[in-house]
Chains A and B, each alone.
Chain A
Amino acid sequence: MAKAKKESDSAVLDAACAPEWTEILKQMIFIRRFEEATEREFRKGKIGGYLHVYIGQEAVASGIVGALQKGDAVFCGYRDHAQALSLGSDPNRVMAELFGKGTGVSKGKGGSMHLFDVEHGLYGGYGIVGGHLTLAAGAAYAKRYQGSDSVVVCYFGDGAMNIGSFHEAMNMAGLWGHQGMCPIVFVIENNGYAMGTSVERHSALTDLAARVRAYDIAGEKVDGQDIFAVRGVADRVVRQVRETGKPYCIEAVTYRFSGHGAADILQPYRTKEEVEQHRHRDPINILRKRLGEVCGLTDDDVKAMDEWAIERAANAVKFAEESSQPAPDELFADVVAEHGPRPVSEDERE
């Protein structure tokens, strides 16, 4: 695991940890190629509903997840493919979910916006902006209540900070944090826009990290395009939250290169030039360049990774395509529990 330097926020890249970073680069390239494949399949009509991709924001999820360990739980919004993939979900099953197939991570019942993979720590993608923040705070309480040292990570967009549940979740997390009962890392994926509304037009205070201080939660900004910066902060913050049980908020300043969703084609709220300018800070290129400088990663190495990523994404599409639809009686399964009351074990008794 790459170590965060104590004195600096940025994670260290040296020869010793180069293999790990090379793996991370490979994962980010794969997430990019996977997302591109989802956009193509959406246009072909193979994927339905709403599709929100993570292109441009990869360093956030990949940077945060690197600081997590088994048992930690993740909650996020509908822009959730990268969250699942970075946590280690099977890409075949993620793609199958988007195709609405029975082999999907949520059995084809959730789709793009509602990926769940509890085995890998993903407690869901949610479609109502901000609705999951309270769930995540409750999950963090549960972790401590159960005597675990796990943490919860809750991702959300800049736009989610304007809805009531944000404020309710933050205040309760802040309060519970006083007792060390809320080990949660809130991660603002500040990509500059809530659909077609820029941060300046939707938030009275544009310093988003500062807004959580009103709830006695420490917050800080990080360059969300630079995975070393994200990872450095994440390593320190996750460790601290794990130790103290107090919430913390990271504002990752990032940018989405694609539209808000697959239907957002015209994008009247921003110029092509603006998008181009941000493409110069492509998180994949930033990591790739550093790996080239420090450990001699070559263009050929990257090309090999990219070819692998393209093929892996194509395989996921193939798997999804060949999987069967959910059986018709799945319609009525999972509405309410079909199993009886759970017995209380000896160590759960008061």
Chain B
Amino acid sequence: MEWCAPPARLWGMGGAPEARTTPSRENEMSEKSYRDAIRDAMMEEMDRDANVLIMGEDIGVYEGTFRITAGMLKKYGPKRVLDTPIAEAGMVGTAVGMAMLGLRPIVEMMTMNFAIVAADQILNHAAKVRYFSGGQVDVPMVVRGPQGAGVQLSAQHSQSFESFYAHFPGIHVVAPATPADAKGLLKTAIRGNDPVIFLESAALYGMKGEVPDDPNFTVPFGQSRVAREGKDVTIVSFSRMLQLSLAVAAKLASDEGIECEVIDLRTLRPLDMDPVYASVTKTHRAVVVQEQWKPFGVAAEIAANITETVFDELDAPVARVTGEDVPMPYARNLELLATPHEPEIERAVRKVLYKT
């Protein structure tokens, strides 16, 4: 069968070649989808470092249920692109072991909902090994996959996990909102020395954007970004909700002259609050937008940080826009009620401006 050939080139342990020298493409950009940006990041890193490999369910022969891994088995062979049984705990646990010995595994979760099955391996093992070994071992691995509400995927397949993972020290938690960030952050994740939970928005896979061609382009963790400047209200968000926030900001600016400053957190752990504080110092009003449930969420963390640090700057309580506090219903009308949309963001902006 096609997927068996060509055989993977086998690198000896520690015998990985150094980064390829590539013609300088420093300033060139290409339009790419979020999906292709993720694949490019993985393939560039697999080209760069033979210690990088990927495993997951139906990622090889089937080329991925979301086609993120299309073409990878063919290019890298079954030693570096491993089709696994349905065994999330097994996948993550073996990846931890591989990582402890120096490989750099990427584990693809068909969706992040299934990673809960591997929660013990991620939270009790991957996140702890460096610490309780007194720093003797690195655990360079990435657990990545799509998350968030789709269309009628119901309660077990629509969840978002940023606050779940970000609660735990010992791992990084990344949630890109654009194709360029998806690529740059994933490359940082693969090159890093710690476990990374890389949360992709399934709904953004088809989204296109400009992505740097430079194979050494990376986006560092812990650098929030001002995605749109404004002076009236600060909107803080990440992942798909960042895109909705930008749409609301554009609409409010053109319709009513309300200028929102939109901040993309990019990584939730490490969390970079400085641009948020700077922005709130300018606007004195903040709205935090997330898809996940409200209790104990990222928005709560951001709001608490704002009150702890720049409380005196606030002219209104921080507003939170979140999903409704219920398991995701299947019926489309209920699902639409359960997830946040532009009107809710708009309403929150008006609320902090005391405009109703």
A binding-site residues for B, Cβ under 8 Å: 48-50, 97, 100-102, 106, 108-111, 113-114, 126-131, 159-160, 162-165, 194-197, 201-203, 263, 268-269, 325-326, 328, 330-332, 335
Known contacts A128-B114, A268-B62, A331-B334: does B86 contact A114 (CB below 8 Å)?
no
Which bucket holds chain B's interface residue count?
A: 35 or more
Tell me if B152 counts as interface (CB < 8 A to partner A): yes
CA distance A97 to B331 in the complex (A): 8
Q: Which residues of B contact A109 (CB under 8 A)?
A: 154-155, 329-331, 334
Jot down 24 A-B pairs with beta carbons below 8 A, ordered by A: A48-B152, A49-B151, A100-B331, A101-B331, A108-B330, A109-B154, A109-B155, A111-B331, A113-B154, A114-B156, A114-B330, A126-B156, A127-B157, A163-B85, A163-B89, A195-B57, A195-B62, A326-B329, A330-B331, A331-B326, A331-B337, A331-B338, A335-B325, A335-B326
B binding-site residues for A, Cβ under 8 Å: 57-58, 61-63, 65, 83, 85-90, 113-114, 116-117, 150-157, 324-327, 329-334, 337-338
CA distance A332 to B323 in the complex (A): 12
Known contacts A111-B330, A195-B58: does B117 contact A164 (CB below 8 Å)?
yes
Q: Which residues of A contact B58 (CB under 8 A)?
A: 195-197
Known contacts A111-B154, A128-B117, A197-B57: does B330 contact A48 (CB below 8 Å)?
yes
Closest Cβ–Cβ distance, residue A133 to chain B (whole Å): 12
Closest to B334 in A: A331
For B151, give its contact among A48, A197, A268, A328 (CB under 8 Å).
A48
Q: Which residues of B contact A159 (CB under 8 A)?
A: 85-86
Would B61 and A269 count as touching, CB distance under 8 A? yes
Q: Which residues of A contact B83 (CB under 8 A)?
A: 197, 201
CA distance A332 to B334 in the complex (A): 10
Closest Cβ–Cβ distance, residue A301 to chain B (whole Å): 38
Would A194 and B85 count as touching, CB distance under 8 A? yes
Would B62 and A163 count as touching, CB distance under 8 A? no
Would B157 and A197 count as touching, CB distance under 8 A? no
For B62, give its contact among A100, A108, A203, A269 (CB under 8 Å).
A269
Q: Which residues of A contact B62 (CB under 8 A)?
A: 195-197, 268-269
Closest Cβ–Cβ distance, residue A25 to chain B (whole Å): 32
Would A164 and B334 count as touching, CB distance under 8 A? no
Would A163 and B88 count as touching, CB distance under 8 A? yes
Q: Which residues of B contact A196 (CB under 8 A)?
A: 58, 61-62
CA distance A111 to B334 in the complex (A): 12
Other contacts beyond A49-B330, A109-B334, A197-B61: 4, CB < 8 A: A111-B331, A196-B61, A197-B85, A203-B85
Q: Which residues of B contact A160 (CB under 8 A)?
A: 86
Closest to B338 in A: A331
Would B85 and A326 count as touching, CB distance under 8 A? no
CA distance A325 to B333 in the complex (A): 7
For A330, give its contact among B90, B152, B327, B334 (CB under 8 Å).
B334
Would B86 and A328 count as touching, CB distance under 8 A? no
CA distance A160 to B85 in the complex (A): 9
CA distance A323 to B272 in the complex (A): 50
Would B330 and A110 count as touching, CB distance under 8 A? yes
Closest Cβ–Cβ distance, residue B266 to chain A (whole Å): 29
Closest to B337 in A: A331
Q: Which residues of A contact B326 (CB under 8 A)?
A: 331-332, 335
Closest Cβ–Cβ distance, residue A303 to chain B (whole Å): 36
Closest Cβ–Cβ distance, residue B69 to chain A (whole Å): 12
Would A328 and B330 count as touching, CB distance under 8 A? no
Q: Which residues of B contact A164 (CB under 8 A)?
A: 87, 89-90, 117
Closest to A111 in B: B330
CA distance A21 to B98 in the complex (A): 55
Closest Cβ–Cβ distance, residue A28 to chain B (whole Å): 27
Known contacts A108-B330, A109-B329, A326-B333: does B61 contact A100 (CB below 8 Å)?
no
The 7 lowest CB-CB distance pairs between A and B, nearest first, are A48-B152, A111-B330, A196-B62, A162-B85, A100-B331, A49-B152, A108-B331
CA distance A62 to B334 in the complex (A): 34
Would A128 and B113 count as touching, CB distance under 8 A? yes
Would B154 and A127 count as touching, CB distance under 8 A? yes
For A194, give its contact among B86, B117, B154 (CB under 8 Å).
B86
CA distance A331 to B331 in the complex (A): 10
Q: Which residues of A contact B153 (CB under 8 A)?
A: 49-50
CA distance A128 to B118 in the complex (A): 12
CA distance A101 to B332 in the complex (A): 9
Would B333 and A163 count as touching, CB distance under 8 A? no
Closest Cβ–Cβ distance, residue A219 to chain B (whole Å): 19
Q: Which residues of A contact B338 (CB under 8 A)?
A: 331
Would A129 and B331 count as touching, CB distance under 8 A? no
CA distance A268 to B67 in the complex (A): 12
Q: Which residues of B contact A332 (CB under 8 A)?
A: 324, 326
CA distance A325 to B335 in the complex (A): 11
Would B334 and A108 count as touching, CB distance under 8 A? yes
Closest Cβ–Cβ distance, residue B23 to chain A (whole Å): 35
Would A48 and B87 count as touching, CB distance under 8 A? no
